[in-house]
Structure 1
Amino acid sequence: MNDLDTCLRCTRDLRDHELGRYLCGSCEDQTATRLAAIPGLFAQLDQHLARGSSNGPAVSGSKTAPAPLNLSVLNLQTERGPVLGPLETWVRDWEFSGYAEVDEAGSVTDRLAHACRTLRFNLGRATGRHPAVDEFAEEVASIHRTLVRTVTGEKPARHVNVTCHCGQPLRITLDVRAVTCPGCGAEYGHSDVLRLPLAERRAAA
């Protein structure tokens, strides 16, 4: 049970009916929506396997023959890659807590569908009981962003450097949801961190 009165992910104040939960209703809904979308995005990766179909065109002029497949996309589709691997790790973690059940039978696509389905089904209970559910929500968001950018060709969010009130520089993206200053521990939500002053660039030595 969350002893704080704020969401651990977006740091928004919890409403009366959300008190005791680790995530607010909005963050829970966003995570559920991403879990529902991940299998469909994963299925579209096959269309981007050809080298040059995503992440830019193949580079010419190399002395060695280019790989026939886009290895970064192929890695996303592997059993222990950055999509299925983390999600099944969370299923095992939730199984230990009594929230889910691991199923490693079938293809990678079948296993991914099961992982997303069982995590989504048990998300409500985990939101109220699992103290690391905010880390889970962030990992799901990261996986979803990676798949969307691979499938659509969307460029990564732009990074900027801002300065905390204590003087600590913070490197953030424009779509950041929340950040904690490593210098003083101050916590900023999305709108608050975007109001911080830009960090001054250091002069070249």
Structure 2
Amino acid sequence: MHDNSDQDDYQWPMCVTPRCNRQLWVAEAGRYACRPCEDRAAKHLTELGPLFRRLTETGTLMRGARRPGGATSGSRTPPIPPRLEVLALTANGGVATRLRDIEDSWRKALGWTVAPWRGSSTQAVPEHLRFLANNLPWAVSSYESIGQDIDELRKLHAECTAVAANERRPGRVSIGRCPARYDDGTHCRADLTATASSHRVRCGQCGARWETLGEWRELRAAQEAVTAEQAQETGVAA
């Protein structure tokens, strides 16, 4: 396969992936990317699904979640601080768009039609990942630009991992006062704070906790009920 390797000007084939560029083994002859790079790309594709779901959940909490069916009274959870890096990865131009661009280039090289459906990013990302994982063996052997795509998957995986791991911790912001009651019926009223790194809220004064989306809804409803109660008491006192 490399029968001209004794020639002075012969250059042994090398992996086309940036940051690798190692010489291919004889057993890898005919490939554009080496097997270690293929294995890393496959691993990145496997891990991007769970990473994206985690970022999507954080993005939902930043917008404030609503109950299915469109109910509004007491149904909106307290939003948590926005993180631009989360929004950049979950919105248009983020993970779904970058995976779509790779898929489209592979489909074009294969002579296949571009996938006609797109849907939301939550719907599209699993489909893009499935396509890329299924066709990765073809790409490393037959697609000349595979090195750039493997590098793009590496970058995308690194970005999602860094954001999901909250390497850049956002500050905490106030989301209202604690609506919990003491045994004597009085409200705690301590300031509550939240951060985009977690949807769990704990009152540092009375110890009350809200940890799930359902409990976030209960927190918002309880806060609104306390506000309404206080407004009524003020009106009576006046």
Quote the Cα distance in structure 1 between the aligned partners of 2:46 and 2:100.
15
Tell me the matched-pair count: 138
Provide the aligned C-alpha RMSD in A: 2.4
2:50 — aligned with what? 40
Pick one of 2, 15, 24 that aligns with 2:25. 15
The 1:124/1:114 distance shift into structure 2, 3 A limit, reads same
1:28 — aligned with what? 38
TM-score by length of 2: 0.53
Whichever structure has more helix as a proportion of its residues is: 2
Pick one of 120, 131, 134 that aligns with 1:118. 131
Q: State the one-letter code of the partner of 2:140.
A: T
SS of 2:122's equivalent in the other structure is: helix
2:196 — aligned with what? none
TM-score by length of 1: 0.60
The 1:99/1:115 distance shift into structure 2, 3 A limit, reads farther
CA contact (8 A) 2:85 2:163 kept: no
2:98 — aligned with what? 86
1:169 — aligned with what? none
Give, in angstroms, the shift of residue 107 of structure 1: 2.4
Quote the Cα distance in structure 2 between the aligned partners of 1:45 and 1:152.
10
**Where in structure 2 are there 5+ consecutive unaligned residues?**
1-10, 63-79, 169-238
CA contact (8 A) 1:31 1:137 kept: yes
1:6 — aligned with what? 14
Q: Deviations over 1:100-137 (max 9, x none)?
A: 65253432112111111101110111111111100000
Quote the Cα distance in structure 2 between the aligned partners of 1:105 and 1:136.
20
Percent of residue pairs bearing the same amino acid type: 27
Q: Which runs of 4+ in 1 moved over 6 A?
A: none
